[in-house]
Amino acid sequence: MRQFSVIIILLLSAIIGVAQNTTGEIATDTIAVTDTIIKPKYTFGTFFNHLTLPLELGCAWSAQVGEERPGFYFRTSLEYRDIKTASWVVAIEYDTYTRKYKNYHFDDNNTISGDEIVKDIFVGGGYRFPLLKNWREYLKNPYYNNVWSLCLMAYIGTTNSSLKNVTTTNEKMADGNPAYILTKDSKWVPSMKLQVVCDYSIDYSVNIFFGCAYMQHFMHTKLETNYAGMFIVSGGITCFFR
């Protein structure tokens, strides 16, 4: 009986030892797996670190030979950049510019001179190349002070061209002459834009840049008589949300 009790005790001790070893191995494996899958938490603040706000001023003129005059150009956009190197760029932008014109060949507008108001809405993307000899090292360990970069961008969107049109009314002026009113005559057309930008990183939160672009319309605007495009030369400042 005593020998039987000793055997039971030995068996219980062996079972407890195996259980402890198994539990330790499971815990170790769990820690290893946990260490492997833990990632930095992506927060709403992290998203804002990717965003930039370029503000751009410049001059735009038509590729069509005619009586159009260069116009003042203003662009604002919201860009989403690769947070580490700012290399990949995705952008949504809104452009507006006004130019004076004289045109005697309108088919559906009776105002031969005035101001054309143009608005563009684009989405696009591109890639920014640091202008450095050791650019590969820069991509591994990026910094944000005193860096020149060249950015190539392509956009697709739509353009709105708006002119004033003179419309006759049934009313009369005090002297008996007909009364006229100015109405807005506008048209949306599909467009694309290619842009080259050179920018300089002052510090972690501000860049200055200058660039040139070509915009192509795929249909006639209110002022154009062919599929003409626009040339744009501009410069501005980029502010970072980070």
Spell out where the chain has E strands: 51-62, 71-81, 88-102, 113-130, 147-172, 178-201, 206-217, 229-240
Same domain, residue pair 103 and 88: yes
Same domain, residue pair 34 and 49: no
Same domain, residue pair 10 and 79: no
Same domain, residue pair 185 and 227: yes
| Residue pLDDT, tens place only, 36-50 | 444 455 555 567 777
Are the beta carbons of 200 and 209 closer than 8 angstroms?
yes
pTM: 0.70
Same domain, residue pair 52 and 26: no
| Residue pLDDT, tens place only, 119-173 | 999 999 999 888 887 777 777 776 667 888 899 999 999 999 888 888 878 887 8
**Locus of tokens 């195996």:** 18
Q: Is the pLDDT of residue 32 over 50?
A: no
Number of folded domains in the chain? Answer: 2
Q: Is the pLDDT of residue 3 over 80?
A: no
Concatenate the DSSP letters of all residues of 133-154 into one string: TTHHHHHHS---SSEEEEEEEE
Instruction: Classify 106 as helix, strand or coil.
Output: coil
Predicted local confidence at residue 37, as pLDDT: 45
Average pLDDT, the chain: 76
User: From CA 165, how far away is CA 180, in angstroms rounded?
Assistant: 10
Which residues lie closer than 8 Å to 231 by C-beta, 6 or more apart? 60, 61, 62, 63, 212, 213, 214, 215
Same domain, residue pair 28 and 63: no
Q: Quick one: what percent of the chain has pLDDT higher than 70?
A: 69
Same domain, residue pair 93 and 66: yes
Predicted local confidence at residue 86, as pLDDT: 61
Residue 21 structural domain: 1-38
Same domain, residue pair 56 and 89: yes
Least reliable range by pLDDT among 58-72, 80-94, 149-163, 227-241: 58-72
* Phi and psi torsions of 45, nearest 5°: -65, -35
Predicted local confidence at residue 121, as pLDDT: 95
User: From CA 239, how far away is CA 242, in angstroms rounded?
Assistant: 9
| Residue pLDDT, tens place only, 180-224 | 887 888 889 999 999 999 989 887 778 899 999 999 988 877 777
User: From CA 223, how far away is CA 65, in angstroms rounded?
Assistant: 12
Residue 91 confidence class, pLDDT cut points 50, 70, 90: very high
The domain spanning residue 230 has which CATH number?
A: 2.40.160.20
Predicted local confidence at residue 186, as pLDDT: 86
Same domain, residue pair 87 and 182: yes
Same domain, residue pair 13 and 93: no
Same domain, residue pair 210 and 132: yes
Same domain, residue pair 25 and 121: no
